[in-house]
Chains A and B, each alone.
Chain A
Amino acid sequence: MAGHAPSPHKPRRKAKRTADLQSNLSIVESSSSSGRVVPSFPLAAFFWPARGSVSQWEILPLVLMVVGLFRWAAGLWGYSGFEKPPIFGDYEAQRHWMEITTQLPVSQWYFHDLQWWGLDYPPLTAYHSWLCGKIGSLIDPSWFALYESRGLHDPTLKIFMRATVLVSEYLIFVPALVVFVRRFSRVNGVTTWSASIALAAILLQPATILIDHVHFQYNTVMLGFVVASMSSMIAERYLWSAVFFVCALGFKQMALYYAFSVFAYLLGSCFSPRINVTRFIAIAAVTAVSFAILILPLVAGTYYDVKRGISPHPDRKGSRVPLPLFEEYVGYLNTDAFYYPYIEQLVQMVHRVFPFARGLFEDKVANFWCALNVVVKIKNYPTELLQRGALIATLASIVPPNLILLIRPKKHLLPLAFATTAWGFFLFSYQVHEKSVLLPLMPMTLLLAGNQGLGKDIRAWVGFANILGCWTMFPLLQRVDLRVPYAVLTLLWAYLLGLPPTSTSAYFQQGSSVFSHWVTAFTHVFFYLAMALWHVLEFFVRPPSDKPDLWVVANVGVGAAGFSLCYLWCLWKLILQSDILPKALGGKERKAKI
């Protein structure tokens, strides 16, 4: 919108502009009627006046303001568990953690009344909750009063909570993403203009806004640390990469979805192009130290409480509470030794964070197991077998991408490898929640900042994954009356990127009719039609009384099939781009790229 004026003061800009046009070919296309170049999707049109002549430091603040406005406006809607007693929802969980971390001694955090949203995230989340709770208590202490504040839905508290999500995101995710997009686009030789468009597209990703700013959670903090970690890998700052990844894990255990890729890349970078033992040792040491620092406040708090004679479980005076895990090793431990409280604390933390005792999947989630459950009643099989099956399937799906990354630790492969691995975890692993789809979506969406990222092929697939992802979360959002923000944010994003249901232009390649494009177009159109049909049915038709979950199950089935395609596409792209195939096979793609 900032106008592009033929400015007489700066004649050098002209030359740059033509150069830019050459390299922006994925975003512009020549109009058939006039022969002039036109933007090929609306988001590019919004950046059109800024082509070449405007510095990205002028665009960036504007982009950040716009995406911030959309986030805040979306936050005006309800949140998960709003006025839904008896236990409310995610919002109450986060608020409750602020309550217990600010009101209770550290050693009781992981033990306090576990039935009411007991803390089950790693320590960094606890520290973050403590900080937010402290700030909030300055404004109104009643928001986090112990016991009394449960289920509170004060409108001012809602504004405060929304603000904590936004501020946390702008302090961690946004800067990490801005830096990542700069570095990654430079590695791929993408112009800053396209990179700005990609940045806006990534920041407007509907799934993250819907889950974090509407439904309520702090996923972007964890995702931000992961992006920072990837960004450090691109900058070849491997130690920082390890530190950031420990932070991500320390904030939300879900970051384990990426752990294999991080490990594979960091290990790979120690071996290729030449073996670098010092780097290996340094990474290992820094990782260990980061973990130690991460749990230090917890340990120190426990030490302080032991000194003061405060028990972690004051409700069970006298009797020793057995360790929740590792019962077989308890015999080796002296429960009266000085170290026992710390062991107990850490074991309890691990136990809370990794609930091994729960089922294969909780709710209806669009992954392989839940889809399989429609055909075979999985719950009839022994848990042992299911756990082993999940483990084997997950390993089988994540070994190929990580093996490639280990052999070829190339910077431009990072988002693809991360996305493939996360898709593998999402589809096959244990204890998946529908919100976990954010994890594969994030690195996959980062592809927009890469080579040909805004070209039709990648845009079509990234868009497909995102829209399908939002669609599988619809049952979750609809439960708390969030249909309107769901529809607005998803359709807006689809519109801006020129994707179905608003446009089919991403499927018509100019002057090329390669077979694979047609396959892509047909499968995608099939899925989009299925999604649209599902919405119509869900809105107008009641499911039969003997199958009340019919629509949800249909959603899961379509979602799982579509996500499997996304996994396969990411894997295929990864194989092609890593140049790991013999020339005869991979030759065609490389020619097409040049």
Chain B
Amino acid sequence: MTAPDRTSEPLPAVRDLGLHQWQHLHPLSPIVRGGVVGIAILGYAASQLVDDVFRSVGGGDGGGDQQSEQGLRDGLAVLFEHSLVASAVVVAGMLLIGLAGWLSWRFAKFRVAEGQLEFRKGWIFREHRQVPLERVQAIEISRPLLAQLTGLSQVIVQSAGGGDAQLKLAFLGAGRADEVRHELLALAGRRDEPPVALPGDPVSGSQAIPGPRGVPGAPGFEASEGREVLRVPNSRLFVATILHGGTIFLGVLALVAGSVALATYGSTFEALTGAAIALPALGPLVLGIAVNRVGELLKHGNFHLAETGTAARVQHGLTDKRTTTIPLHRIQAVGMVQPLWWRPLGWWRVRVNVAGIAHDGDGDTDDETTVLPVGTLDQALAVLTLLDPALSESELRTAALGDGEHGGWTLVSPRARTFDALSWQRSGFTVSRHSLMVRAGRLSRRVSVMPHARVQSLTLSQGPLDQRLDLATVTLVSTPGPVGVTVPHLEIGTATRLLVDEAARARDARQFVRSACVTGEVPSQLGAPAHTDER
């Protein structure tokens, strides 16, 4: 816990699993990785072999008089002459594949050394990847179908920076994968806090934080599964997945087309014929929507959310079971949405932006940033306040359902009525000491919250129409993710003031968070707003 602590600190934990020495993956992993292809090849080879044997037996059958004996002898002869060659080739091929597999297993290894996770693979084309532990954003476990059957898991290490910044340890035994994950998380978690020592900072020299084991938050990383917060029943998820613009559009289309067809043709049979003709034209559309919906279902099926005190653990996947850990202090913005179709049922979806989890435009990534695929408002609020305890449930409720200016909301300019015909009384923002909250949408409702300390940069923009009406749009830029924090069409004065004030608030919040990290007081919270003047 004293001065040499920092250098020696990974060691005690590393010794437990021996991660500092080169580790091999599970011997079955090449086969599982080869997966379906390998099985297909093996199956094909086997069927060829059987075919060959039978054909040669059959050939012998037709040839001779002393049928069975001759045939059998012939068959054996052919088997020994030709099929022997064939099977030798197959066996050699399998040996080769086996050898390749063995080599790939032999040369794939990983270890933790000098604060880096190293992974080597390849015999001829060698690959050596290093991931600095302090760059590790999340470590998750994934179990594709084949791996589930063989009892294996892969450990996926996400690190900061770009789409290909993930390292897959595929595969390890399920238990071992869990151990490795915990160990890596423990190691990474220690380095997870921003560098403690600002160069020349007098505090860091004398009053070093008492080692990560002393930080109250850190052990949470090691707590195994955490407390279960909620699970989403698959039946509800199914209904929610079906209730989607695409499927409803299709249903309405089918109804309209059906009734029109019935009205014009007058007979069910002809209408059905018409439908059969029309179907191929709609085929790609239907297929696209179906694939999209089924994908959604597969992704979010068996959804569990747990919390470990410092992180949220999301387990999801109908066939490919995945576990994602979202460290709470890496959450950049949170948002909830309610599509129009879910309104009768009062369901919401909660999503987050997490630093370092790569994200493409559509919101469809391997990595889970949805912390509640579908749930009631109460569940959504519970999840949101869990992710960020500084949020107040009543404010969130106002944001979700309310409109008008009461409760400290600033709305879009009345002049923006032409743009926001439906929602101009609802869209707007409110500011608390901790965060900025934006709500929008009259039919489909959206709420986004961004803590002041998480603002990356701010933009103010104004198109030609805005200019004529003296309006402007303010955007709080977050890290890439599904949640966008934009306040559209404010009066120009309000917008400018919001930008300036938010910049000031973000600055104060950052300074507070920084000082909190130095003193180790609030190690992993988003910055408790109550102590702003302490610094």
A binds B: no
